[in-house]
Amino acid sequence: MKHNPNKFPIVPLFCIFLLGPFVLCQLDYKFYDTTCPNLTKIVRYVVCSAIANDTRMAASLSRLHFHECIVNGCDGSLLLDDTSTFKGEKNAGGNRNSIRGYEVIDTIKANLEKACPSTVSCTDIVALAVREAVYLAGGPYWPLSLGRRDGVTASDKAAIEQIPSPFESLEKIIAKFTSKGLDIKDVVVLSGAHTIGFAQCFTFKQRLFDFDGSGNPDPTLDASLLQNLQTMCPNQDNSDTNLAPLDPVTTTKFDNIYYKNLVNNSGLLQSDQALMGDNRTAAMVMNYSKYPFLFSKDFGESMVKLSNLGVLTGQDGEIRKNCRMVN
């Protein structure tokens, strides 16, 4: 029998009465079709302009989305500014002087408030913006159901505890993902977002000069890459915020070269190269290094899972008028 997406008389009632707490029933691909028909075009225009102005922005939006959703779910909490009575997530360790792209979200929100006031949540804006950013960088485009609402709180403590760090062991990183309902495959796939963007030298400098307190470089790091990185990140404090590309081969192109780099011992972050040190994850890395279409497909699927973590729907939360503050 041919499926007609417009014929849904029974399912919504079934969802409401039997599956109330399950979020996917209340997220909908057509959520804003009548209330904000130009939503996708408006998001695309702003993201496109931002990337044209700064190619790093694609990676920055991807990271903003991940740090937003991995802490207590996708609720726009990372976007909230600190106030005299409220300490948010922007200045937590993994975010301070590191997360970029807030102004892109602000611009999208301002344009949407003109086109369809008090309608589209900041949380949905972030999920839509990262999809456009990845696509514009050459990556996949995934189906995105909408209807997330914005939270009214944030947690500095949760951000410190829950955001994976490049200094942590693979086991610890996997544990942080699985605690959210993601799995080991999502760890490998979402790490592939490091196919674009840059890292600050302090996040990997110990691999260049004093690996595990040995006084020597990481012996697994490719020799020519090591030389290049030591030039970019000399062994002195004032180089800590210098930038090095996560994928030096195709720095601004979203592709599967990140995985080829790992196979060649050329991962920048220790937490990335660690994926080759565990049989479970190494097998997936090998697969993605050979099959770019498989990576694209799986990345889209993992992004859908990520963007559905702990979302607020229905009457929960609110639709912020300004993404930086609760109404």
Which residues fall in the annotated binding site?
71, 73, 75, 77, 89, 164, 194-195, 247, 250, 255
Contacts of 254 (CB under 8 A, 6+ apart): 58, 134, 137, 138, 139, 195, 196
CA–CA dist 123, 179 (Å, integer): 21
Catalytic: which of 44, 56, 63, 67? 67
Element housing 110 (H / E): helix 102-115
Binding residues for substrate: 164
Binding residues for Ca(2+): 71, 73, 75, 77, 89, 195, 247, 250, 255
Binding residues for heme b: 194
Residue 325 sits at φ, ψ, to 5 deg, of -150, 150
Q: Given phi > 0 = left and psi -120 to 50 = alpha, else beta, which region is 97? A: left
State yes or no: is 3 an active-site residue: no
Instruction: Give the residue from 196, 67, 65, 197 showing the smallest Cα distance to 131.
Output: 65
Structural Rg of the chain based on CA atoms: 20
CA–CA dist 5, 145 (Å, integer): 14
**Angle at CA 134, nearest 5°, toward 257 and 281?**
45
Neighbours of 71 (CB within 10 A): 28
List active site positions.
67
